[in-house]
Structure 1
Amino acid sequence: MATAIPARYSPTLRRLHWLMAVLILAAYLLIEQRGLFPRGSGGRFAMMQGHFWVGIAIFLLAWWRLVARRRDGAPAVTPPLDRWSALGAKAIHVALYAFFIVMPLLGMATAWTDGKAVMLPFTDIALPALLAEDKDLAHQLEDLHGSIGEAFYWVIGLHVLAALYHHWVRRDDTLRRMR
């Protein structure tokens, strides 16, 4: 007896996808809008701490998503993609997952080497810093974190445009598999 191939991603993967999309938007908004508050102000501190914790949540959810993806698999695109399109899709997805894991690690390393505390929400308790303060390293990590973040505006935009292309031009089920 043949096992039916699901037409959509599992409910877990669909929920994680959209939750992470919202969290990534929140991470970008928090960091981009921190300038609304003067340096040293409570508002700016709250924006930075929010950015840190959204990043940590993305990091943790990425691992859950990888486990779920391995367990649940991915439904095939109908009609199937040509070899180059499939390769491009795989490359974008690998880049996205690398981003979900590397960026929070770079962010935490930046905060710790810059001497910034990452506070437990709604407490006065800081996570222990795993790296020593080193302002030169902090500036290098911050530049790298920022450059990758800016590059990922393009990768995320490409991901969204590809989904829309598949839905409206190619008329396959790529986007419908994730709703």
Structure 2
Amino acid sequence: MRSAVALTYSVPQRLVHWLMAALILFNLLFAEGMEKLWRVVRDGGTPSVDQVSAANVHAYVGIAVLALAVLRVLLRLAQGAPAAPAEEPPLFRTAAKVAHASFYLLFFALPLSGIAAYYFEIGGAALPHGGPLKLAMWVLIVVHVAALLVHQFHWRTAVAQRMTKG
């Protein structure tokens, strides 16, 4: 077991991070299949095979994100995470902790609300899933990338390398 103050992320942690990033971006960018299906069903129509297939792809990707989120938590508990760079001001350290906790919350809330809406037909889950939770994920991604750029070009820390080269 690694200490909680690892110098870098392990290879499995990095692989899970980038795989989740790709899957989450895919579902954020290509959610229209699920949205079209819901509109057809809401309007009393019968969805086409293509519409159901597109919605299923979105659902399966979301389930994969959920499974990877569980793996990610287990890896983090077992292997720890690097400490914040000394150059990072305390306020930004706190903001980073809040942002990362929010990411982890969304890693579970988005897929679970999607599963509730799609598989269990809990209509009240669809609105937060496609509305505020989706928006929160987009905001966090933008803030995450902006923070990475600040680390790279303003504070000149090796934060980016911890999740790329190790």
Q: Could you say what secondary structure the match of 1:175 adopts? A: helix
Structure having the higher helix fraction is: 2
* 1:157 and 2:164 correspond: no
Note the residue ranges of structure 1 that are not aligned, 5 or more in a row: 115-136
Matching of residue 142 in structure 1 with residue 126 in structure 2: yes
Q: TM-score, normalised to structure 1's length?
A: 0.77
Aligned pairs for 1:165-176 within 5 A: 165-176=150-161
Render the CA deviation track for 1:113-156: whole Å, top value 9, x for unaligned. 43xxxxxxxxxxxxxxxxxxxxxx51x22111112112321111
- Residue 101 (structure 2) aligns with: 94
Q: Counterpart in 2 of 1:85?
A: 92
By how many angstroms is 1:55 displaced? 0.6
Q: Is the 8 A contact 2:66 2:111 kept in 1?
A: yes
CA distance in structure 2 between the partners assigned to 1:44 and 1:160 by the alignment: 33
Partner SS, residue 119 of structure 2: helix
Is 1:106 aligned to 2:90, yes or no?
Answer: no
1:42 offset after TM fit, Å? 2.3
Query: Which runs of structure 1 show a deviation greater than 4 angstroms over 4 or more consecutive aligned residues?
Result: 33-39
Q: Which runs of 5+ in 2 are unaligned?
A: 41-46
TM-score (norm 2): 0.82
Which structure exhibits the higher relative contact order, with contacts defined as CA atoms closer than 8 Å and separated by 6 or more residues?
A: 2
- Structure 1 residue 46 displacement after superposition: 1.6
Q: How many residues align?
A: 153
Quick one: which of 41, 51, 54 aligns to 2:58? 51
Tell me the percent identity: 31
CA distance in 2, matches of 1:158, 1:32: 24
